[in-house]
Structure 1
């Protein structure tokens, strides 16, 4: 699954052609909707809207068909529709086509202009959201580097013991087998074939986890992002004792890592556990808006757009599923707001989001009831 990088986002932002078509649709990973090909039907409907808009703007049918050829090919690609995530974004122009299958839910939307519409993508760029995920079992250890939208394995098998026997000796395995045999007779439960918890056993697990931590610390000692551990619940306190990493997350991913289908389902569970951590920064920025001197904030699009072009905006809050239409004259630093979209109108919220992300600021799409200033659709916190 190709994840949209910031460089690709910036390339889309700089792309200049007339016309540019941006299409967003929600997609399903599995289930009845996939079988009934509802995603394909949705895309077909959105492309029809785009074609009608292009026709209204005076573009010849031959050019419209040329721009839409990749969409037609995609609609015929049955295998493509079986491997979806939460959203599909398409960007089309004459001789240009990009598609991104992304773990972001999109409202179905089509935009035709002389630039691409990128506002729905901003959740991917609220900081990189990096973290590390340690999948920890007594017979298998894996370390992953992840963001909120991607995950990949970090190879540590050359520096970490692959199983507890490598650290405490094979007498541990032999005792485990004997305990399992005895417990089968007596009816006492075991954890994956190992003997019940005893002080000696916990000390051996601690030795093993310290060896794992040594390898993990070698990789992460200069990092400042969270490390979350997926392991048996009873193992996590032992790993907490063993770990020297200062940003070890205080909760573990619930359940045995072996129970997850793949690293993607493990990643999803880790994100749910980390949700309070990722919400914290957004909430702090919202509190800043309320606490700062009014000269350091604004809720006026006519003030905010010029301030963005001066590099003043640190954080931008945009009301989700809404737009402000108008025009911006960069030479005059003036904003003309239109009551509704008309020929020549651009999305000022899209313009603002793209520019703030280019300047490494934060952009949040927020439901109306959670906006810092609920009376307006755009709020900003200034850097100075």
Structure 2
């Protein structure tokens, strides 16, 4: 499972070659579509279109073969197609290849230029949209760092007890503790055991959860990201009672974490976390609107790109599924707009997005109706 990270993104952003191919396709995690190899067929269709365009651009047959060889290897790898998420991103040139399985449902798209098309990946690199996931059971504890695009396990064995017995003693199992919930959604929980009262058993679980909470405390407070918990729903009220972290989301992903894989955990956790992930974006949009009549904002592409290169852009808003073609001369800071992708023109939105990330700014892909200034496909909130 290949997820995008900061190092990967920088490598893609910095890479240049005479011919770079970027392909994005939506994929399915399972079901009938996977059995019918719909994902594989989708990639085959995109690659067929790309090959045709490469030939029309008079790209040497040898180069086309080098670009296409790792793509064909993916198409022939049956195991690869059994482990997909919501989207697949592929970046290939004659001497470079990377593919990323990403929990984002891309629209099918391909881009041929001298650089890779990283705009769809940019929001995952700006710091917003990140959250943590705690998958906890009495016999197992796992922790993940996640974003809309990715989920990565974090080793916490040195920070927390990995199971309840490590915290309260190995005689715990001898109590033959059983849990039974009454009422839909686990509204009331009864604890039954031999050798211990209900109160003692609940106290022991809370003691275990408090140890997990305290073990994660320093790690969590570094970034203060939203925390989503996945556990059996009768355990969540006890965890909330033990919790001291201020950014715990007050809604659980119910169920046994072992009943799904890491991508399934991500999908369920994202459904709960997503409303909290746009708060910073919405604050920046509101700030843009407040300052829209000052020199601290601009919606002119010819002004924005030079400002990006000068490090003046605090936040860049790009209309999702939009495009602006042209070229930029860094020496004289001149932007030339064009009607299409022909004659060496590039995506100016892709250029501005990856350069903003490089210069430490934020980038948001925004639907048209939420753009601060809807008359332009790119808006910038300036630092000074």
The TM-score range, normalised by the shorter chain, is 0.7 to 0.9
Does 2:147 match 1:145?
no
Once the two structures are superposed, the pairs formed by residues 222-241 of structure 1 within 5 Å of their partners are 224-241=224-241
State the Cα deviation string for residues 83-130 of structure 1 (Å, max 9, x = none): 211222222222222222222222111211111111122232231644
User: Residues 269 and 194 of structure 1: is their aligned pair in 2 closer, same or farther, counting only changes over 3 Å?
Assistant: farther
Does 2:207 match 1:213?
no
State the Cα deviation string for residues 258-315 of structure 1 (Å, max 9, x = none): 5742343233222222222211111111111111253111111111111101111111
Give the 3-state SS of the residue equivalent to 2:136 in structure 1: strand
Does 2:172 match 1:163?
no
Once the two structures are superposed, the pairs formed by residues 1-384 of structure 1 within 5 Å of their partners are 1-127=1-127, 129-137=129-137, 139-148=138-147, 149-156=150-157, 159-160=160-161, 162-163=163-164, 166-167=167-168, 170=171, 173-174=174-175, 176=177, 199=199, 201-217=201-217, 220=220, 224-245=224-245, 247-258=246-257, 260-292=259-291, 293-384=293-384
Give the TM-score of the pair, scaled to structure 1.
0.86
User: Residues 32 and 95 of structure 1: is their aligned pair in 2 closer, same or farther, counting only changes over 3 Å?
Assistant: same
User: Residues 296 and 43 of structure 1: is their aligned pair in 2 closer, same or farther, counting only changes over 3 Å?
Assistant: same
State the Cα deviation string for residues 44-94 of structure 1 (Å, max 9, x = none): 222222222222222233332232222222222222222211222222222
| Structure 1 residue 160 displacement after superposition | 2.1
**Counterparts of 1:363 and 1:31, CA distance in 2:** 35
Residues matched between the structures, number: 374
| Structure 1 residue 199 displacement after superposition | 4.8
**Counterparts of 2:212 and 2:104, CA distance in 1:** 34
Range 89-98 or range 318-327, more displaced:
89-98
| Structure 1 residue 317 displacement after superposition | 1.2
Give the 3-state SS of the residue equivalent to 2:28 in structure 1: coil
| Structure 1 residue 190 displacement after superposition | 6.7
Larger of the two Rg values belongs to structure: 1
The answer to whether the Cα contact below 8 Å between 1:230 and 1:252 also exists between their aligned partners in 2 is: no
Give the 3-state SS of the residue equivalent to 2:99 in structure 1: strand
**Counterparts of 1:159 and 1:71, CA distance in 2:** 42
**Counterparts of 1:341 and 1:312, CA distance in 2:** 27
The answer to whether the Cα contact below 8 Å between 1:132 and 1:143 also exists between their aligned partners in 2 is: no
| Structure 1 residue 200 displacement after superposition | 5.2
Range 317-326 or range 144-153, more displaced:
144-153
Range 302-311 or range 214-223, more displaced:
214-223
Equivalent residue for 1:186? none
Q: Which has the higher strand share?
A: 2
The answer to whether the Cα contact below 8 Å between 2:191 and 2:198 also exists between their aligned partners in 1 is: no
**Counterparts of 1:84 and 1:351, CA distance in 2:** 29
**Counterparts of 1:93 and 1:280, CA distance in 2:** 38
Range 229-238 or range 140-149, more displaced:
229-238
Range 222-231 or range 44-53, more displaced:
222-231
**Counterparts of 1:307 and 1:143, CA distance in 2:** 43
The answer to whether the Cα contact below 8 Å between 1:26 and 1:87 also exists between their aligned partners in 2 is: yes
User: Residues 32 and 325 of structure 1: is their aligned pair in 2 closer, same or farther, counting only changes over 3 Å?
Assistant: same
| Structure 1 residue 43 displacement after superposition | 1.7
**Counterparts of 2:214 and 2:62, CA distance in 1:** 63
The answer to whether the Cα contact below 8 Å between 2:21 and 2:110 also exists between their aligned partners in 1 is: yes
State the Cα deviation string for residues 117-169 of structure 1 (Å, max 9, x = none): 111222322316444333333x3241403121113143337752722695278
The answer to whether the Cα contact below 8 Å between 1:125 and 1:357 also exists between their aligned partners in 2 is: yes
| Structure 1 residue 175 displacement after superposition | 6.9
State the Cα deviation string for residues 307-335 of structure 1 (Å, max 9, x = none): 10111111111111111011111111111
**Counterparts of 1:229 and 1:242, CA distance in 2:** 13
